[in-house]
Structure 1
């Protein structure tokens, strides 16, 4: 079976000479939530815009469910729904008419039952007769999602879908996205909220300076690149780490009351067992132990920092 999206040897260079995308190769699986992360200016929006046919590639091939986005544009574009960063819609039109019109743009016949379902799923049904200009920012963003879903796409791109949305509404929208995935829609999202990717994504892609530097299953990424930290709350304050414990690379907190041991998340626990025995031999007692694993945000920051 073909991938939902397949990108091969994609380059985009603007007339100014700026190379926005450099040899992008990426396959996105059917039915997954794929999060594309990257700092500002990394090429996230350019990549999405190119896949959706808004920006022309300089070279390379892009397939949407097997359809070439340049040679078979209509079939490819029908497969895709796009929720852009900017809220672009007719401010004086009603919610119902705006979403219905978007469906018509794809040559789809009128289907009021589908529009009703979308609006209800997005908690917009009671706003269906309201003009867009009267809605809050969060509701306007929901309308953008409704427009993108109006023609029943199989692949949905969400470019910063919860930017400027309050925490409660953001979590509601996460639920909507998960429900879409459960219905078989492939979701590709870009986000500055790393928590969003950590909560929702099946796989993570990181783009930096126009290049894909990593694509990995979320859990495998956190397992392989994450760090763990063991914090020991000491019974007595110490001014330095004894030389006999130097091999562990321990860090003594400024207060002198905590020892911090950092290790790879995939490392076995023999190092910890050995450390605890050596602490006992050194006469260092502790009252409590805490462990902490790197978040996706810390992994992302370290990856991008290494590329600078």
Structure 2
């Protein structure tokens, strides 16, 4: 994520802001520019001096994206991916849905920065609330149709699920990045003719998926996966290994862009023989994977150290082994060298 600032007063802004806390001007994100813009007294975007119109979900406080005034669409590129939203006449659903949309907009920002396609009818999202008398909604994917249980936007419920499933890390944005990764397997691997390369690293994805997941959940917690996989769930099936690594790759580039925007320099002492130093002054969206990995290790050490100072769990409870780094490198390659880019 870039560091954002108000064009009127220079105040630092967050991606989700709708008004500047310092000067009071209204704000809106312009997806074509990838930046927040303040709006002047005449309603013109100060970023480009042009009139804009709000996404239809701005009125529901579920979006802060704006479109060109003459755009034929009523919804922004993120909101128009919605296939189904929960019943908003139920007051308890509205704040949870807003959190869903916030996470999805962050996802779309990163996909745009990576120039990954997400337009068209294939990729779509359904955010579903549990209904009385019906089985709980299952988060999952089906050929680009991504379903996220609305309950995942409830912090207490999501933490309960994380604990029950013995997961070190579970976030709403992480769900979005993981599930969209399954669709990008179709786009970046299967349709691009990279299946053999994929299998050399991740394994044979043609093995029975349902049986593999059933076996995974039947096994008691263990550490057999460590070293070859980024998480225990990644060891369940090659498709899940890919999706976990894809989500992880998005975590990395987004976090590194934010750290770079702040001009962070980190000097963690790794052992008595030396210091690993890195100055984060590069774009992870244009860098090679080796540069990304070299910067990521000291940044995560710093992030975890800061969390421990505040008495909270490690922000980054993962270890990047050599096999995992190779898988991430493959994802970096297929993202940046796609047939549709002529590379």
TM over 0.5: no
**Which structure exhibits the higher relative contact order, with contacts defined as CA atoms closer than 8 Å and separated by 6 or more residues?**
1
Give TM-score, length-normalised by structure 2: 0.26
More helix, by proportion: 2
Specify the structure having the higher radius of gyration (Cα).
1
